[in-house]
Structure formats: structure tokens, C-alpha cells
Structure 1
Amino acid sequence: MKSSFTAADGCRLHYETYGLQGMRRSEASRSAVIFLSGTTQTALQWRPQALFFRDQFPVVCYDGRAQGKSDPGSRKLSLDLHVEDLYCLLAFLRVGRAHLVGLSHGAQVALAFAASHPEKTARLVLCGVGAEPGPRTRAVVRSWMEILDINGLSAMAWAALPVILGETYLRANERLLPKMVSALVARNRKDSLLAHFAALLTYPPPSDNAKRISRPCLVISGSDDLLNPPASARRLARMIAADYEQFEQVGHSVPVEAAGRFNRTCHRFLSADAAHSARRF
């Protein structure tokens, strides 16, 4: 079901649910799976995951403030504001505890939420995020912001795709890149994305929130991730005492590049009552 929720400041947030309304009372204690999007990503791009999980978990996909169909609102964007929005959305949907699955920017929001609200967090899957953004990551984000400001969404999308997608995926899907650029342009707004980039450059490093995590966590990294290399992801996993899994020949956008394996890996972890077989650091 597609709908929208209005935050306290009047900002409208778009969300989609799968199986949430149809839950029987006996299932109400079951944790929902919340998918949190990366930069330029929208709820629509989580649909393969939502369809995979919906038979066993209630699922919520949403566009964060200033992403996709959600408004930017009148308040200054920040990581804390995204955490506040997620808390209010879960309360609105009457979700008690949630499994949080985040990619890149969404992983940072999930991590910060779990640090602030452990009572609302069941398990965490963090993908495409490291302990601290390096100079390459900061320079890439700044370059995207400058390209977007000067030349618009299409130019920014063409600059971003070779960075967020791995070589193997690009080689196999090169003919699809124009359609991917068109989709990114259609699903994003220049002013909102500029505000998102500016805020992203001010976020505290994930390592700050990692020290406060008490919930079970899985960190997933692509071997060819240029934005958050595996070494940084492994450091984050060690800080949280999390499980760690590395996908070979995959770049930053793991749920897109290796959807089947990503779905199975997340499902195994979220379904586990005890330690599972992923590698621990």
C-alpha cells in the first residue's frame, strides 16, 4: 500500500507497506523490516526486497525527507532529523520494534536510530557504509553536489553511476545505463538533492554512533565499493561486534548488483534466533 505521513512540521513523507495492514493480532509482536534508502534511491528501488520479505515479515519502504516523493520540509536537514522522522513514522504505523536494513545514507540513519532508540530496534543490516568517510568519499559527494548545481540531474547521474556501481555490474548492464539515468532524473528533485548533499557532508562519522550499538548487527560490503571500501566496513563491524559479509565483484550498490544473494543473506540474519554462519570479526 502506498501512502504518506505528515511530520510535526508539515513535511509529507512517502511510504509503502507490504503485509502491515493484514497482520493478524497474534502476529503483532513480529518485528517489521524497514528499508532505508541511499542517496538518490527511492522506496520503489526496494521493491525486489519487499516482495521477497513480505510473506514472512511486514515491510515498510519509505522516502526520507528530501528524497524521492517526500518533501524537504522547512527544517534544516540533519542526521538527527532523519532519526526523528523514522521514529515518528514507526509510531504512526504502530510498529513496535523494527529490523532496520539501510544502504549507504540509509545505513547511517539506521545506525543513528539504533543508537538513540535501542528499545525500538530489533536487528540491523548496514550496507555500503564504513567507520569513517575518507577524503575520496567527501570529494565524491562534493563533486556530485557541484555537478548537480551547475549542470543538473542528468549530468550528476552520469557522474554517479560509475562510482556507485561495480565494474562487473557495469560491464553486464552498460546498455541499461541511459534508462537508469532517466529513472534517477524522474525520481529526484534538484533542490531537494542539493540540500541532501549539503547535509550529508555535515554528518558525524558512523564510528560515533557505533560505540552505542547494543543490538545484533550485520555489516555487508562490496569488494569493489569505491565510496566505502571493505577495510572501512570491517572496522565498523569490529566497533559494533557485528557480523560481516563481503560480496566479491560487487560495488557500492549491493542490493541492486547482487539482489538475490543480498535478500538471502539479510533474511538468514533477520530470521536467526542466535548466531548465524556469517563471518565475525
Structure 2
Amino acid sequence: MTQISVNDIHLHYQLDGPESAPVLVFVNSIATDLSIWDQVTSVLQSSFRILRYDARGQGQSSAPDGPYSIELLASDLIGLLDALGLVRVNLCGLSLGAMVGMWIATHHPERIERLVLCNTAARVGPPESWDARAAAVLERGMQAIRPAVLERWLSPHFVSANPQGAERVLAMALGSPVAGYIGSCAAIRDMDQRESISTIRIPTLVVASSADAATPVADARHIANSIQAAVYTELSGGHLSNVEQATGLATAMMGFLQGRTA
């Protein structure tokens, strides 16, 4: 297990691919770990130096009590990049991970070459819903999010057609640290980037999924319309496009990151 100390916590990370290749960083969604990108990275790792990591509160990284914020999670990632000597990278985030990506693109644009925002939103409300999620997990543990994983993160078609894949995602989510989930809920609850993202000038690929129940297509279209240099693409399937449409996502990313259209 490879860990590094950043902002008084330990971050678990994995670095793969040719050392001379452009660096591509993947940032996870809530209650997942870096393995959520396995199928995507298997397609891309011959062309990119790929950095994956478990964010604060995820996987094998430290999970201190919250609340967390998008700025804090972004600071963790910048600290990781600094520790690894990575000055400028391509960045792909999904859901919460993309929220972190938007924040860095807004506040530290010099760190990002190209940006991929998957299945995300500039604001996810109402705030009370995130407090309710956190309270449920505090009372009943991570089992409280089982319905959300199966009904909001994954499409009905995927759950029925690929039960093993659905169980893998479910096990990952239910095995996530309670403190990390609660802290991450606070970060999403308090985030509103609807206006700030209009300042982003970095080439950006916005990826939506047609059956995404967590961050619907309208959220992605808002982001794409707000960012001057954005390209929009839509895949089939549910919220976790890196699971349901890994090959399609990787193909779209490859074209975009190499300067071709998505």
C-alpha cells in the first residue's frame, strides 16, 4: 500500500503507466475507492501516467471526523500533486470528484491541462437532504445508503443485467468509513459553483449519462453551457459511468485528451 502524508492525513494512492507519458489524475465519487476506475484505466494506462487515490474519508486513506469542504478536498489533492512533483496534469473527476476538479480549475487553473467532468453538478440540493443522509448513516451505519446505491448510482438495467458488478459497487460503498461519508456529505451540501465555473477557460469535457438519477443530464448541460471551452457528450446508463460505460467513457476521454473531439 502506497501512502503519503498530506494536510496531516495519509492519502493512499496508485501511480501506473509510462513515466514519460502525460499525467492523468482520477478523482473518486463519494463512498468509493480508487478501484472504481479499474476498467477505465485499463484502456488508458498505455497512453497516460495515471494517478488514482482515495480521497480524505475514502478507502485506505485517513477518515477524520468532518465536516469536509470542497476546498479542503481540493487542497488535499494539490498537496498530493506537490508531494509527487506533478506540476500540471489532466484531471478527470466523477460526481464529488468532479466538484473538486471544478474548484481547482477555478482557483488553480495553472495546475490543469485538460479537465473531464463526469456525472456531476455545480450544486446538489437541498442542503437538508444531505443532512438527512448523514444522520441516517450515523444512526444505522453505511447500510443506510444501500437503496441509494442500487436506485440512484446504478441504472435498473445494469443492476439486473450485471448483478456481480452491482454487488461490487455496493460492497465498496457499504465498506466505506462512516466518518468519511458524513464529512463528504457536508462538502457536497455546502457547495455552490454555479457562478464560479463560468471563469474556467481550460478545455473541458462534460460527460452525462442518460439514466443518471443522482446528477441528471440537466445538471451536466448547465455546466457545459457555463464553461466557455466545454464539450458535452452523453452516454447511456446510470450515475457511475466509470462502471456502467467504462469503455465508452475511456474512448471519449482518449479523443478529448489527445486533442480530438469527444
Q: Given residue 233 of structure 2, which amino acid in structure 1 is its aligned partner? A: E
Distance in 1 between residues matched to 2:14 and 2:164, nearest whole Å: 30
Contact 1:154–1:181 under 8 Å retained in 2: no
Q: Secondary structure at the match of 2:71?
A: helix
Contact 1:31–1:122 under 8 Å retained in 2: no
2:211 alignment partner, one of 187, 200, 224: 224
Identity value in percent: 27
Specify the structure having the higher radius of gyration (Cα): 1
Q: Does 1:107 align with 2:98?
A: yes
How many angstroms does 1:142 deviate by? 4.0
Partner residue, 2:5:
6
Q: Secondary structure at the match of 1:132?
A: coil
Q: Does 1:237 align with 2:189?
A: no
- C-alpha distance after superposition, 1:159-186 (max 9, x if no partner): 3321111122122124654454333323
Instruction: Please identify, of 70-79 and 98-107, the stretch whose mean Cα deviation from structure 2 is larger.
Output: 70-79
1:93 alignment partner, one of 84, 100, 103: 84
1:1-281 aligned at under 5 Å gives the runs 2-8=1-7, 10-19=8-17, 23=19, 27=20, 30-73=21-64, 76-135=67-126, 138=127, 141-174=130-163, 177-186=166-175, 188-203=176-191, 205-241=192-228, 242-248=230-236, 250-272=237-259, 276-278=260-262
Instruction: Please identify, of 144-153 and 172-181, the stretch whose mean Cα deviation from structure 2 is larger.
Output: 172-181
How many angstroms does 1:84 deviate by? 1.1
Q: Secondary structure at the match of 1:99?
A: strand
How many angstroms does 1:104 deviate by? 0.1
Contact 2:65–2:180 under 8 Å retained in 1: no
Structure 2 regions of 5+ residues with no counterpart?
none
How many angstroms does 1:214 deviate by? 1.2
Distance in 2 between residues matched to 1:79 and 1:160, nearest whole Å: 22
Contact 1:31–1:97 under 8 Å retained in 2: no
Contact 2:99–2:121 under 8 Å retained in 1: no
Distance in 2 between residues matched to 1:213 and 1:139, nearest whole Å: 29
Distance in 1 between residues matched to 2:250 and 2:54, nearest whole Å: 20
TM-score for the superposition, normalised by structure 1: 0.85
TM-score for the superposition, normalised by structure 2: 0.91
Go from structure 1 to structure 2 and tell me whether the alpha carbon gap of 1:231 and 1:47 turns closer, same or farther (over 3 Å shift). same
- C-alpha distance after superposition, 1:4-47 (max 9, x if no partner): 11014x2111111103xx62xxx3xx530000000011111112
Contact 1:144–1:160 under 8 Å retained in 2: no
How many angstroms does 1:143 deviate by? 4.0
How many angstroms does 1:229 deviate by? 1.3
Q: Secondary structure at the match of 2:238?
A: coil
Distance in 2 between residues matched to 1:173 and 1:48, nearest whole Å: 15
Distance in 2 between residues matched to 1:6 and 1:271, nearest whole Å: 32
Distance in 2 between residues matched to 1:97 and 1:199, nearest whole Å: 25
Instruction: Please identify, of 142-151 and 221-230, the stretch whose mean Cα deviation from structure 2 is larger.
Output: 142-151
Superposition RMSD in Å:
2.0
How many pairs are equivalent?
261
Q: Secondary structure at the match of 1:206?
A: coil
Distance in 2 between residues matched to 1:184 and 1:74, nearest whole Å: 18
Go from structure 1 to structure 2 and tell me whether the alpha carbon gap of 1:35 and 1:176 turns closer, same or farther (over 3 Å shift). closer
Distance in 2 between residues matched to 1:267 and 1:47, nearest whole Å: 16
Distance in 1 between residues matched to 2:13 and 2:163, nearest whole Å: 31
Contact 1:31–1:96 under 8 Å retained in 2: no
Contact 2:28–2:96 under 8 Å retained in 1: yes
Distance in 2 between residues matched to 1:112 and 1:58, nearest whole Å: 23
Instruction: Please identify, of 149-158 and 79-88, the stretch whose mean Cα deviation from structure 2 is larger.
Output: 149-158
